[in-house]
Amino acid sequence: MRLLQRYITGELLRVFVMVLIAISILLVFVGVFQQATENGLGPVEVLQILPYVIYSLLPITIPATMLLTVTVVYGRMSGDQELIAARAAGINLISLLWPALLMGASLSAGALVLTDRVIPWSIDKIQETVLLKMEKIFLDQLRSDHQFIDPQGGLAITVIDVDQKTLIKPTIRYTPKSGQ
């Protein structure tokens, strides 16, 4: 009985890991490319936010992966007549569900921790990476043109020079959209 439960646990873990990796890879590319196109990120920035996107996708992928895993493992066992053999050996079929129930409970607790602690941290890191990229673009434009003009926002910034992240003699003009 214990041997059969260990076998089922091993099968559940093996299938779960493979399916989780496959689904995560598919969803990561969607998430990363969405962030990249929305924020104009380059390949380096995409690689920087990649690990953080994975964390935010896990609460979505874990339940779907667990559902698919249980279906595949117990469906295969049923197809191979292993459940009938266990029943003929006098093993209660409900006892064969314990590995899946324990795994599901553990994954639920893990997803709760992810949602409560890890995902807010990863979103902050993604925003930090995007803001650093925007700051770099802004400072590069001031270095090369010595000015930044946003006609839609009515903002104009001129500088004599930029030393690392310090603006040398900046002049900031703001003109409201009404023209006053």
Q: What is the pTM of this model?
A: 0.72
Give the model's pLDDT for residue 180. Answer: 54
Same domain, yes or no, for 125 and 154? no
Low-confidence ranges of the chain (pLDDT < 70): 35, 39, 178-180
Question: What pLDDT does residue 11 have?
Answer: 96
Shared domain for 88 and 19, answered yes or no, is yes
Q: What is the model's pLDDT at position 5?
A: 92
Within this chain, do residues 63 and 152 fall inside the same structural domain, yes or no?
no
pLDDT of residue 118: 92
**Dihedral angle computed from the Cα positions of residues 114, 57, 100 and 81, in that order, rounded to the nearest 10 degrees:** -170
Query: Residue 94 sits in which domain range?
Result: 2-138
The number of distinct structural domains making up the chain is 2
- CB under 8 Å, gap of 24 or more: what pairs does 5-9 form? 5/95, 5/96, 5/98, 5/99, 8/73, 8/77, 8/96, 8/99, 8/100, 9/99, 9/103
Q: What's the confidence (pLDDT) of residue 14? A: 98
Residues 180 and 98 in one domain: no
